[in-house]
Structure 1
Amino acid sequence: MAEPAAPGGRASTTAPAEPVLEVSGLVKHYPLTQGVLFKKQVGAVRAVDGVDFVLGRGETLGIVGESGCGKSTVAKLLCHLERPTAGTIRYRGEDVTRLSGRALKAVRRNVQMVFQDPYTS
């Protein structure tokens, strides 16, 4: 397969960049429970179900969608503010879901979310 043309019509000679952020099979389900003393799980809210993407160096990702579709949940999972039910999140090749302490703090300095101002939308 031919490489895509670079500006000016020449084929690109640069190798594909290493992914900075790789998300595969990301899932977050919140359990629905019943009972006060003896809690029993009776179902689950499927907040995020199977998110996959790869982000290269210099790329920006915007997540858009209707209210309640899981945008904020995905952002919280990427920053490891919540634990995923399933899936992997790799930042520069390292599985973020397994990090803690200083290593996690270093990732959070580089992976951030910017919330939309609801009054300007």
Structure 2
Amino acid sequence: MAEPILEVKDLVKHYPLTQGVLFKKQVGAVKAVDGISFELAKGETLGIVGESGCGKSTLAKVLMNLERATSGQVLFKGEDISTLQGSALKAVRRNIQMVFQDPYTSLNPRMTVGDIIGEPFEIHPE
């Protein structure tokens, strides 16, 4: 197999459940993503499919560093994306594309599927 361009190692994202208004106390956690690991080589495509509420969008947000992981690592070209900021993070985000599960907000009905898939390559030809 080719050298992975994206490596995800034991990725976890939990949201705390709290109780109380003034003195909040954590009483549990929602386990949105719990121990995901995979590798993706250059040129490969990954589709994340599952029922509503299973953590697909949360996983995508953590992969883009839009949300911080509770634990685990996301490496893009060998670099931990959680340490990136500014232009370095922007450059990584340009190389990763998310298409969210709601087709009415993520897909333009005036474009063909081929045009939608090809659009990122027109914007970022490298």
State the Cα deviation string for residues 33-75 of structure 1 (Å, max 9, x = none): 1111111111100000000000001100000011100000000
Partner amino acid for 2:24?
A: K
Q: 1:55 matched to which residue of 2?
A: 40
Of 58, 74, 91, the residue aligned with 1:89 is 74
Unaligned 5+ runs, structure 2? 108-126
Which structure has the larger Rg?
Answer: 1
1:70 corresponds to: 55
Give the whole-Å Cα distance in 2 for the aligned partners of 1:17 and 1:79: 22
Count of aligned positions: 105
The within-5 A match list for 1:1-121 is 16-118=1-103
TM-score, normalised on structure 2? Answer: 0.79
The structure whose residues are more often helix, as a share, is 2
In structure 1, C-alpha distance between the alignment counterparts of 2:32 and 2:103, rounded to whole Å: 21
Identity %: 73
> Unaligned 5+ residue runs, structure 1?
1-15
* SS of residue in 2 equivalent to 1:67: coil
Amino acid at match of 1:59: E
Q: Give the distance between the partners of 2:79 and 2:101, measured in 1 at CA.
A: 28
